[in-house]
Amino acid sequence: MEYVSCNLCGSNQTRLVFPNTISNPKQPQNLEAFRCTSSGYGRHHAIVQCLNCGLIYSNPRWDDSELINSYEAVEDPLYLQEREGRVLTFEQHLHPLEKITGQAHGRKLLDVGCYIGVFLEIAAKHGWEAWGIEPSQWAAEQAKKLGLNVIHGTLSAANLPEASFDVVTLWDVIEHLSDPMAEIRRAHRVLKPGGLVVIHTMDIDSLFARVMGPRWPWLMEMHIYYFSQRTMAAMLRKAGFQVIRSGPHGRFQTLGYLGTRFTALFGQAGRPVDWILNATRLRHATVPINLGDLFTVYARKEKGQV
């Protein structure tokens, strides 16, 4: 465990927002807590807010080496079952991206934390030369089985050439990192002048998050940082980006997968809903979900920068 200063402004002045809910916070938890499909809602370390800039984050939390080891070892077979929803979600994500960049025409895209490579597949079909980086050995192997360009590891260790990509994406990644500012600066380094970074994450300042308070589902052990659109924009500007668009962005999920979330959220009380959704022929049907507590921000590396 380690105590850290604010990743945005460096201040050590904080207030407690949500107290620790893990019974033994000094002992590493099961690797299931680090799956994308983790059901560990409401289990988290102490969550604080910087009194200077307003950034919200876990403190203390696992040190960087503990986090990397966990993400390298994690496996997530349930994610494979939810593939249909992920495909529709990433198709939805790519459309507004290409409204900004124009059609791909063979330009290079890097997806940081690409997991099993669903977004890479879709980007490649749209004409992008798509590359991914993924710390999970299991997930990287799943992506490579499909012939995708995936580097097993992290952006900090990959040593990619400077100014070599037109787009860098981080879908549901930035909240898991021990040093998001450093990662955004790494994205800036590998982007060409005029290149675009796209970040999708939770919005702790959304109406739904504020209404739910400590019952907001995204308060989880694997989430280290909880951005608002304001603090995310401030971090991007500090890293040398110009923010050009930011707003809520939902996703698609199958009814069967939604059923498993009811059990995870409500325990035994949620099992009847889980059973009903999974017992029908509609369990593979996908539905749009947008509670306003997820957002995507698009920011450009200015053309004069190196």
**Amino acid at site 108:** K
**Three-state secondary-structure class, residue 232:** helix
Say how many residues make up the chain: 306
Distance CA 46, CA 18 (A): 6
Q: Which residue has the tokens 């009380």?
A: 269
**Tens digit of pLDDT for each residue in 188-213?**
999 999 999 999 999 999 999 999 99
- Token readout for 246 is 């930011």
Distance CA 232, CA 245 (A): 12
Distance CA 144, CA 35 (A): 19
Predicted TM-score of the model (pTM): 0.90
pLDDT of residue 277: 60
> What domains appear along the chain, each with residue ranges and CATH number?
14-250+290-301 (3.40.50.150)
Q: Determine how β-strand 129-134 pairs with β-strand 108-112.
A: parallel
Q: Is the Cβ–Cβ distance between 204 and 227 less than 8 Å?
A: yes
pLDDT of residue 257: 64
pLDDT of residue 1: 85
Q: Could you please report the per-residue DSSP string of 112-181?
A: ET-TT-HHHHHHHHTT-EEEEEES-HHHHHHHHHTT-EEEES-HHHH-PPTT-EEEEEEES-GGG-S-HH
**Three-state secondary-structure class, residue 26:** coil
pLDDT of residue 251: 81
**Three-state secondary-structure class, residue 201:** strand
pLDDT of residue 33: 83
**Bridge partners of residue 300, in order along the sequence:** 196, 242
What stretches in the chain show pLDDT beneath 50?
A: none
**Amino acid at site 71:** Y
Number of H helices, E strands in the chain: 11, 13
pLDDT of residue 231: 98
Distance CA 195, CA 302 (A): 8
- List, in sequence order, the alpha helices (H) in the chain: 64-73, 77-81, 83-101, 118-125, 137-145, 155-158, 180-190, 207-212, 229-238, 255-266, 271-279
> Of 21, 86, 9, 82, which Cα lies nearest the Cα of 51?
9
> Of 169, 221, 192, which Cα lies nearest the Cα of 28?
221
